[in-house]
Structure formats: structure tokens, C-alpha cells
Structure 1
Amino acid sequence: MADSQLSESYIQDAFHSYLKSSLTQAKAEKLLDADILSSAEGDLMITGPALCLYFAALRCTTNPPSVPLPRHNKTSRPMELSYDNCPEPFVPFLRVWSNTVPAIQGLAPENQHDLARMICNMEPLVTPLQPSLNGIAADLRAVAIEISQRRSFQDRYASDLQAALDSGTTPASPTKRAAFVPPPSYDASPVSSVNSSPRSSFDGHSRQASQASPQYARHDLPPQSPSYLSPSPSSNGFPPRSPSPQILAQNSPAIEFIRETLYASLADALDRQPSLRTLLKTDPPRAYFASVAFAVLDVATSSMTHDGAVIGVLGQNLTLAQCPPELRPFMAELASIGRAAREMQEEDNETAMKYAARGKEIPPTRMDRVRMMLEEGVGYAQGRRDSDEGRRSVQGRAVSFTNRINALSLGMTRLRAFRERQADVFKVLAGIGA
């Protein structure tokens, strides 16, 4: 079997070939316009791959589903990506995608079009909404999020967007340029710039970190001078960006207040999810995103007040009114995630009590599935079993909720203020996992 497996690079080349044509088709069908394609919005990292998976499902002609691969030349024999030749890292992606193919092909044409609109964050046209569309869109976007976290994808996505922008243009209509820039790369080498031990580099105010929503990724926020931040008496342990030992001072912008509150929570994520330490050794970038995702969930559920304020690392509150306008949607989404998480936990508790009252084994809760997906991805083994046993809702609520957390994370980590500190934070995380 191993000898028959295609190489990862071969599949990556094929995917980006299809991604260019999918983005071009989406532009022609007015699902994406030139302004969106040229923007640096974080959600674009999700929309593009999700559309590629959608169009691949429409083209599929095999059972079980497989993906026809582009030929290198006219004499090349036709080849399809299947479970028999799929590289191991891509098998979960293929499995989740395969499960969506019959559902997508079974939709009426108008519902297929609505699914494409939902992938692109557009309102569906048909009412009432076909219930299954939510679950299908959630699955496609979940796989797209996994793909968007791969460095090989990030390094090539700008050229994919540019190819779509160049399509259909003439010399009389200048082409827009794709503004997408990959996030920083990460080096899991031992910590050398942190004087304190890696574990003690997080302060006692640690709460779990968060991840910003896609639509905020285009903002490179200017310095602000909020009056609610008081000088920090000591560093929280992250490598400082200046000779000053203070991480936050009176003139610190609000984005830094949020950033340090979230990053201070990463240690808690590693404490509560010990398996993340192993992941730090085997897949550092994924471990970083997963740690931030768990931090977002914790901050949303334990560090948000009822009026949407964030309780920060210095014991200070950042209210929605004090937050710069560019960050208020981010704050609102963080608070909304917290409310949704609490509702989900209450429903999980009610379900558990019903099972217990009947003397039945309590199945994994939706929140359990969310945590597994944050760490292992949408194709994790238990999730497949839950789906096979009918425990997953048609609307895919756990997947949709996980997608919200991950989308917030992707957008947040692309903000300039977070990019400035990611390399340092990742070194600390790498040291903890060493």
C-alpha cells in the first residue's frame, strides 16, 4: 500500500491547480469579486479551499468518491485520488470530503447554488433553507480550515488568488494585486531568548488564548492610547519587544491588551490538554493553532463579562465601548462564542442526565467533540464513529461551532500586533513541549 501512495507534493500541486480554476469559476459566477480576492481577509483562507472541495464534489463520478487528478500532459494516464493512494496526512481530509459528496450531488441545483453562497458567507436565495446545507457547509469549511493551516498552502495561496484575479482581464482593465501574505513560519528549536524556564514564563493570570475572526484580518491597527491600562509591575514572562520589562503600559493599544490576555492563557491549554505537548513535537504549527483555539474557548467562557468586556491579565477590564471600532466585531464574536459554549454545555448536561436516568452509557458530548476537533481536526477517529452511529446532527452544530473558534483564531493571528509576538510565543511553547 505504501508503495502505491502518491507523494504529498503531487497532491499539493493537483490541489492548487484545481484551486486556481475554482477561484476563477467563483469569480465568473459572482460568488467572489475582485475586491474580495485581492483583500488580505483571513476568511479568504477558508473560502477558497472550501469552494475547491465543493466543485470537486460536483465533478466526482465514482463510488466510493475519489478525485480525478489533473494530467501532467496529454499522454499521461488518468489518475484519481482514492483511499488506496492518498498520502496518510490527507486521509482525514479525503474521508470528510467523501462523506459530503452524495449529499451535495443529491441536492437540487438551486440548493447546490445556495451551498456555494453559504461557503462564501452569502445569504442563501431559497427559503426555507434546506436544513442539511448547514452541516455540509460546516464540513467543507472545517476541512478548508485544516488545509489553510498547512504551510505549503499558505506559501502558494497568493499566486492562486492572483491567477483568479488575472482571469478575464484586458490591458484596458488593470488587474488588482492579491494582498494575501502568509503568517510567520515557526521554528520549534529550543528556547534561547527566554531567561526564565519555559513553564514559568507564563504568569499566574494565565487564561486560554483566542483567535480572531476572518473579517478582522485586514486591519493593521494603529497605536491607541487607552486610559484604562495601568503599568504592569512585572513582565508576564514573554520575551519583551523593547528594553522595557513592561509588557503593557498606559500607552499600550487595546489590541496588545487583548493579545497578552489571550497569549497568557496558552499554558492553561497545555495543562488541560496534555496531548498538545506531544503535538508540539510532531506538528508544531498545528499545536500552536490548537493551543490558541483552546485559549479562545476558555477566555470566551471564563473571561468575558455579561456586557461583553474582557477581564485581562492585569485584572483590568476592557469594555466594548473602550475598544477601538476595528476590534469591536472581534470582541462581539468572542462574547458570542462564550454564550454559545455555555448553551451547548447546558444542553450537554441535560442530555447526560437523560441517558443516566435511563441507565444508558453517556455518549461523548458536543463539547467533547468540539475539543477533539480543535486538537485533532474534523476527521478525528471518534468523530467518524459518532457520525456513523447517528450522534451528529444534520446541522453539524459541533462542527460549525468549532469552525467559529478556528476562524476567529486564524483572523487574530494574522493581525499585525499578533504577528509581532507570534515567533516569541511559539518559542516558549516549543520549550514547554521539549
Structure 2
Amino acid sequence: MAPFELSESSVQDAFHSFLKSSLSQAKAERLLDAEVLSSAEGDLMITGPALCFYFAALRCTTNPPSVPLPRGDNKHAEPMELSYDNCPESFIPFLRVWSHAVPKIQALAPEYQHDLARLICGLPPLVQPLNPSLSGISADLRAVAIEISQRRSFQDRYASDLQAALDSGNSGTSPSPRRAAFVPPPSYDASPISSANTSPRSSMEHSSPQYATYDLPPRSPSFLSPPGSARSHTGSFPAPRSPSPQLLNQSSPAIEFIRETLYAALADALSRTPALRTLLKTDPPRAYFAAVAFAVLDVATTSLTPEGAVIGVLGVPLTVAECPPELRPFMMELASIGRAAKEMQDQDDEVAMHCAARGEDIPETRMDRVRMMLEKGVGYGYSQGRGAARRDSEDRRRSVEGRAVTFTNRINALSLGMTRLKAFRDRQGDVFKVLAGIGA
């Protein structure tokens, strides 16, 4: 038992303090511009926390890695670091994955460290030849960021973090004319699940200016910085899904068509994954995001035609061409996930047959690892226990490119992006009633 454990609220305060300074640093280095920071577009919910972990890795000086915590206004306070000895149990998986990434990041040459920051921000790397390890490191940091972004305490404070970055570099009397447009997803407190089982909602005012004095993170090396297991059906249409509680007619808008197709798959996801039903009682938002991610994978692998159309709840195909322009990227990514899943499953089959022919044990498939990461979260596959060293077998099991992690991130990112659309938000209350009944 650790001699003491930091409270979750103190770690959250420290994280948001560092997040503000990390976003400000990224803005100063032109990794993120004001337009991106002020918009609610793209995967900004993922980019911000991933940058925070990247800068924290650059400033880490301990072994095993630990995170120096801000002192706030009290500059005479004793330095304190977040480590396995004092980390709240709920944050241990995040610390575990980050700790594994730290030595890899610090071992990179400065130009590759900067390229890693660019990858996190969705920018192309500048150095040729490409460093193949950057993809895996970026995937791990984004995996932690995705799970952080699902926490209500993060969602309620992220707008003020973005605004602090927008205001950075301006005088106190002339804040940025741009305002952060980020709006948290709807609160789940109003769902029929008892309030004792819901994640508490923090107020926006909880983010106090006192944390803005935290020292800026080290600069990203920037001398190159520019200026300024279901199978998909083949040969025939997949079987139509049962309608979700709100039946659609043939003329329903495309976004509603996709929404109801995904929501119709939620019950299947919960029935096949008992752990999600348990999670509904302890952390409803996390359970909801996980269930939607499983539904995305299910639809991508069972409800797509070879041409990329989705067979929806009424058995009618919806093509990309029939979607409004703002929905087409989601449809294209859903189809791409389906193709990648089939390729991954085919490769898993080849490995299994090769091992069987040689009389060797068949290893865990990448698709199994993807499903376990969707279910168990970001810490799956890493050594258990506080400060435990990673086993050599685990390192061999993870590919240099982190393909399973990268694929899981794509599913989670699409789920986050789609559930932020108004059409999804408008139906979340009804869906939670259904989920609560299934999980009861």
C-alpha cells in the first residue's frame, strides 16, 4: 500500500494546468494555430491531451518516469511528482502507458522528436527517411488522450484550456478576439441511471486562473519547424439490422440513417461484452463511448457492401454519394475501417495457419487485442502493478508501428467524432434508457 495517494481532483488540476501550457507552447511553435484552437473541428479533444503527455515526457528526469506537478501560486512549496507510489488507482493505466513511451521519446534525435509532435497534431513529418517508431509512439499517446477525453471532468474544462492557449502571448488587457468554440457533449446526469452511479460534472469555473502560472513545458525540438471478430460479408449484401427503438422511414436524412444503424448495434455489443454492462453502473459515459466504438467496429465489419455502402436498419444501402458533404468523411472512414479490419483478420488467419503448420502455439490475434483495448481501455497489454517492468514478451508482441493501437484509435476517434454530432446528441437520452434497461 502506498504511503499516501494524491486525490483525483489534485491530479486533474495539475493536468489542466500543464495542458494549458502545452497548448500555448504548441501555438507558439506553430504546431497548432489560433483557428484550430478556436474551432471545435477535427480531433482537438485528442490532440490536446496527447501534446500534454508529449511535453511531459520531454521534461521527465526520473527513472521510472514520473510527472513533476505544478506548485500553483506557492513557489516555495516542496516539489512533488506524480509516480506509481502516489497516483490514484483510476489513473494508473494512463501513467503506465505514458511511462513506457517516455524513454522512447527521449531516445529520439531532436528532429524526430519534433516530427513526433507534428504527427500528434495531424501534420506531416518533415524528416526523410521516416522514422517508423514515431507512428507507434504517437498511437500510444493518442490512446491515452482518447480515454482522457471521455472523462466528464476533462470535457467540462477543456474549453477554458483552449481559451487560455488562445489568450497566451496577448497582453492581459487585450485577450484574443477568438473564442474557443468547444462545447462538451451532453451530461449524462439526467439518464435514468441513479446519480450515485454517474460521473460528477465539474463546473467551468472550477478551472481557476491560479494554475496559469505553471512554467511552460520545454520547447519541442523545432529547428526544422516551418514558419508561420465478425467477418464482413462478400458477394452479397449483409443482413439488415433490427430497427432501433425509433423506426426510420425510407426518406430519413442520412445522418439519422447512420445513427440508427449504429444504435441498433449497441444491444449486440452489450450482449457480447458483459464487462460493458458492469461499466454502465460505475461509469456511464465511458460505457457509452465503449459501446459505440464496438458498434462502429461491428457495422464496419458486417454491414458494408464491397462498394462501401452501409446496409442500414431497414435493409437499404446508403452510399457515400447520397450523404451530405459534412457526413462523407465519417462514411469514408467507416468504410476504411471495414477494409482495414478485413485485412487485419486475413493476416491473423495467415499467422494462425503458419503457427499451426509448425506445431507452435497460436498467438493472440491483433483483432483480439483491438477488442480488448476497446473493452478494457488504454492500459490493456501493459504490465500490471505499480512500477512493474514490462516483460520482454510484451515488447515483442507489440509491433514497431503499433498497428493494433493505431487501429483502435481510429475506431475510438470516429466514435467520438460521430457522437458529438447534433443528431447523435439529440438521441443519446433515449439510447441511455435502452442501455440502462439492458444493463440492469
Please classify the TM superposition score into its range, dividing by the shorter chain length.
0.7 to 0.9
What residue ranges of structure 1 are gaps of 5+ in the alignment?
193-206, 209-234, 241-246
* 1:163 maps to 2:164: yes
Q: Secondary structure at the match of 2:271?
A: helix
Partner residue in 2 for 1:178? 180
Distance (whole Å) between structure 2 residues aligned to residue 296 and residue 280 of structure 1: 18
Question: 1:383-433 deviations in whole A, cap 9, x for unaligned?
Answer: 876863511101000000000000000000000100000121012111211
SS in 2 for 1:326: coil
Is 1:405 matched with 2:393? no
Amino acid at match of 1:100: A
Change beyond 3 A, Cα 1:342–1:152 = same
- Aligned-partner Cα distance in 2 for 1:190–1:175: 41
TM-score w.r.t. the length of structure 1 is: 0.85
The more displaced of 276-285 and 380-389 is 380-389
| Letter of the 1:420 counterpart | D
SS state of the match for residue 288, structure 2?
A: helix
The alignment of Structure 1 onto Structure 2 pairs a total of residues equal to 387
Q: Per-residue CA shift, 1:334-380, capped at 9, x if unaligned? A: 00000000000000011111122222221211001000101111212
Cα 1:298–1:272, aligned 2, differ >3 Å: closer, same or farther?
Answer: same
Residues 43/413 of structure 1: CA separation in 2 closer, same or farther (3 Å cut): same
Match of 1:346 in 2: 346
| Correspondence for 2:431 among 395, 418, 425 | 425
Deviation at 1:75, TM superposition (A): 2.1
CA distance, structure 2, for counterparts of residue 68 and residue 132 of structure 1: 26
Q: Report the AA paired with residue 37 of structure 2.
A: L
Q: Which residue of 1 aligns with 2:60?
A: 60
Partner deviation per Cα, 1:65-119 (whole Å, 9 max, x = no partner): 0000011312211000000000001001001000011110010110000000000
| Secondary structure at 1:394 match in 2 | coil
Task: After superposition, give the CA deviation of every residue in 1:303-351 in whole Å (9 maximum; x if it has no partner).
Answer: 1111111101011111111111111111111000000000000000111
Q: Which residue of structure 2 lines up, in the alignment, with residue 253 of structure 1?
A: 253
**Matches of 1:278 and 1:116, distance apart in 2:** 37
Q: 1:160 to 1:355 in 2, by over 3 A?
A: same
Structure 1: distance between partners of 2:83 and 2:183? 32
CA distance in 1, matches of 2:78, 2:67: 14
Q: 1:382 to 1:96 in 2, by over 3 A?
A: closer
Verify the 8 A CA contact 1:191 1:428 in the aligned structure 2.
no
The equivalent residue for 2:122 is 121
Aligned ranges 1:96-107 → 2 under 5 Å: 96-107=97-108
Partner residue, 2:362 = 362
Distance (whole Å) between structure 2 residues aligned to residue 402 and residue 279 of structure 1: 19
Partners of 2:342 and 2:402 lie apart in 1 by: 18
Question: How does 1:110-149 map onto structure 2 within 5 Å?
Answer: 110-149=111-150
Superposition RMSD on alpha carbons, in Å? 2.1
Asked if 2 retains the 8 angstrom alpha-carbon contact of 1:96 and 1:378, the reply is yes
Find the partner of 1:390 among 396, 403, 410: 396
Structure 2 length-normalised TM: 0.84
SS in 2 for 1:41: coil
Task: Give, in whole Å, the separation in 1 of the partners of 2:155 and 2:167.
Answer: 20
- Assess if the C-alpha contact under 8 Å between 2:167 and 2:175 holds in 1: no
1:336 matched to 2:311:
no
Indicate the percent of aligned positions where both proteins have the same amino acid. 78
Query: Contact (CA 8 Å) 1:188, 1:427: kept in 2 or not?
Result: no
* Residue in structure 2 matched with residue 19 of structure 1 by the alignment: 19
Once residues 139 and 267 of structure 1 are traced to their aligned partners in structure 2, the CA distance between those partners, rounded to angstroms, is 29
Given that 2:243 and 2:314 are in contact with CA atoms closer than 8 Å, whether structure 1 keeps it comes out as no
Partner of 2:426, secondary structure, is: helix
Q: Secondary structure at the match of 1:390?
A: helix
Q: Please say if residues 243 and 261 of structure 2, whose CA atoms lie closer than 8 Å, have aligned partners that are also in contact.
A: no
Amino acid aligned to 1:260: E
Distance (whole Å) between structure 1 residues aligned to residue 164 and residue 11 of structure 2: 19
Q: Are 1:190 and 1:431, in contact at CA under 8 Å, matched by a contact in 2?
A: no
Question: Which amino acid in the other structure matches residue 390 of structure 1?
Answer: R
